[in-house]
Structure 1
Amino acid sequence: MSQTRQAFDDAQPSDQDIAVSVRGVSKNYGAVEALKNMSLEFPRGQLTSLLGPSGCGKTTLLKIIAGLLKPDSGEIIVNGKAVSGPGPNRAFVFQDFALLPWASVLRNVAFGLELRGVPRSEREAKAEKYIRDVGLAGFERAFPHELSGGMRQRVGLARALSVDSKVLLLDEPFSAVDEQTRRKFQEDLLALVENENKTFIFVTHSIEEAVYVSDQIAILLPRPSRVSEIIRPTSFRTKGVGNIRRDPEYLDIVDEIWASLRNYVE
């Protein structure tokens, strides 16, 4: 381990600072072992990226944390309580947006609150706040087919934020947008992590994206998936979004992660 990498691993979160714990989780699809005895912790109020080659179980793990899949063994603990299925303490942002095509932006964003029985005036006020926060003010009455892919993804993110879940699960949310939009999303995501006091678990295939947005990066190796290492970037996080990609630590981490993963990429 290099001297630089050691610095990333110095700050270990204490138990009370852990929002989500994955404890000995295994998951099989028939004869295929997707996850085997995986354990991983996600610090409260931070963004952790799950990074690794295709087929390493990133989305499977995310869906198990969400309660959308049941593990064959092991358990997920969210804020001290075992997960037995989907719940209001977690919100999922899907890669394919998963919007209601017949509903306006406002109703799509407020839909989770509508399902919870929140009064219309209250849920729409909260939805309008998050529509503004994700940069869609003025599009409240628009419908999904009238929006670009990037705008539809913003609607999905606003919907997840509006239900006020403590844990947000994001499955490659920026993969379907162009590079310019993706960079803007990454900057916006950093602002949300700083301002929302929520725990973000973020699946990505992009090394550069993971290093840019993450407080913690969990590198997963191919199935049966296991955690290769945990990286916690430090020094460049306070230097401003415009300076991150030029920072020597950022560049070193990107290079070291690629060196550790290149043999697993087909």
Structure 2
Amino acid sequence: MTATVRAIRQAMPDTANPVVEVRNLSKRYGSSVEALRDVNLSFPTGQLISLLGPSGCGKTTLLKIIAGLLPATSGEVLVKGQKVTAPGPERAFVFQDFALLPWGSVLRNAAFGLELRGVPKAEREAKAKHYIEQVGLAGFENRYPHELSGGMRQRVGLARALAVDADVLLLDEPFSAVDEQNRRKFQEDLLRLRQIENKTLIFVTHSIEEAVYLSDRIVLLSPRPGRVSDIIEPKISRDRDPDQIRRDSGYLDTVETIWRGLRDYAD
């Protein structure tokens, strides 16, 4: 382990100022598939934490349990001290497949979460327009999903999640369907938005480079059943040009350290 990386074992979770706590969480599908086993994690307020591991290790399952979209088999999730039993207004989910209303305009889609909460039309559209601009889609408010590129559709999903003003954003591989150029631009935009909004972000990715570039912490999950094998904190200053960050020795050393830990599990 290099000096730029600190690994923390699951037995030593960080309990400082957590907005989300995962306690002794396990998940089974039927009697044969054990997706997660005895996971303990704390997610501090205002951090971006990535879930990283081999395919099938339970990353998305864990994210959906935190979201309240799936029940745990045992254990519990607390958000702001309250046990999760269903989706709630303090959490917003950004889906990998966009999950947009095909009959709704960009504005309608971005405002949809607020519409479900009964926010008056003028108020919800004003807020949605603000976040449409924040994600770089100003001028596209009246377009429909079929008129947008994959990257633009994903930006609509992000605007919708931001508009509901949730404390925790849950992002399930949100950039996996876009090309590398757009993916890097999205990464930079996400860091900028995080500084502006000061949200807690829990981010599922298969990309080691993406996790290191974005994250305050990276949770490494073992192969199924998923357990926390390590928590890594990249020691990288992000107050620089993105290309400088990607050439930084700390960034490169962290990527290599994680790869060494995961390569035995590669397909």
Does the TM-score normalized on the shorter chain lie above 0.5?
Answer: yes
TM-score (norm 1): 0.95
2-side partners of 1:111 and 1:50: how far apart? Answer: 27
2-side partners of 1:216 and 1:37: how far apart? Answer: 20
2:181 maps to which residue? 180
1:153 maps to which residue? 154
Unaligned runs of 5+ in 1: none
1-side partners of 2:142 and 2:65: how far apart? Answer: 34
2:26 maps to which residue? 26
Unaligned runs of 5+ in 2: none
Deviation at 1:13, TM superposition (A): 8.9
Deviation at 1:241, TM superposition (A): 2.8
Deviation at 1:239, TM superposition (A): 3.0
C-alpha contact 2:2 2:253 (8 A) present in aligned 1 = no
C-alpha contact 2:34 2:225 (8 A) present in aligned 1 = yes
2-side partners of 1:59 and 1:16: how far apart? Answer: 25
Q: 1:26 to 1:184 in 2, by over 3 A?
A: same
Q: 1:85 to 1:171 in 2, by over 3 A?
A: same
Q: Which amino acid aligns with 2:155?
A: R
C-alpha contact 1:236 1:247 (8 A) present in aligned 2 = no
Deviation at 1:80, TM superposition (A): 1.2
C-alpha contact 1:105 1:142 (8 A) present in aligned 2 = yes
CA distances 1:202-252 after superposition (whole Å, capped 9, x unpaired): 000000000001111001111111111111112323334342101100000
Q: 1:74 to 1:13 in 2, by over 3 A?
A: closer
CA distances 1:48-98 after superposition (whole Å, capped 9, x unpaired): 000011000000000000000000110001111111111111000000000
CA RMSD after TM alignment: 1.4
Deviation at 1:199, TM superposition (A): 0.4
Equivalence map 1:225-244=2 (5 Å): 225-244=226-245
1-side partners of 2:230 and 2:58: how far apart? Answer: 15
CA distances 1:155-205 after superposition (whole Å, capped 9, x unpaired): 000000000000000000000001100000000011111111110000000
Q: Which amino acid aligns with 1:15?
A: T
2:98 maps to which residue? 97
CA distances 1:85-122 after superposition (whole Å, capped 9, x unpaired): 11111000000000000000000000110111101110
Detail structure 1 runs of 4+ shifted over 3 Å in the superposition.
1-4, 12-16
Q: Which amino acid aligns with 2:204?
A: V
Q: Which amino acid aligns with 1:260?
A: G
2:4 maps to which residue? 4
2:74 maps to which residue? 73
Which moved further from structure 2: 220-229 or 58-67? Answer: 220-229
2:121 maps to which residue? 120
1-side partners of 2:89 and 2:191: how far apart? Answer: 23
2-side partners of 1:42 and 1:111: how far apart? Answer: 27
Residue 250 (1) aligns with residue 247 (2): no
User: 3-state DSSP class of the match of 1:243?
Assistant: helix
Q: 1:20 to 1:240 in 2, by over 3 A?
A: farther
Q: 1:244 to 1:2 in 2, by over 3 A?
A: closer
Instruction: Give the helix-richer structure, 1 or 2.
Output: 1
Residues paired across the two proteins, number? 263
C-alpha contact 1:25 1:37 (8 A) present in aligned 2 = yes
User: 3-state DSSP class of the match of 1:65?
Assistant: helix
User: 3-state DSSP class of the match of 2:260?
Assistant: helix
1:38 maps to which residue? 39
Q: Which amino acid aligns with 2:69?
A: L
Residue 84 (1) aligns with residue 81 (2): no
User: 3-state DSSP class of the match of 2:111?
Assistant: helix
User: 3-state DSSP class of the match of 1:142?
Assistant: coil
1-side partners of 2:101 and 2:16: how far apart? Answer: 38
1-side partners of 2:2 and 2:121: how far apart? Answer: 55
C-alpha contact 1:13 1:43 (8 A) present in aligned 2 = no
C-alpha contact 1:236 1:250 (8 A) present in aligned 2 = no
1-side partners of 2:215 and 2:262: how far apart? Answer: 18
2-side partners of 1:4 and 1:130: how far apart? Answer: 35
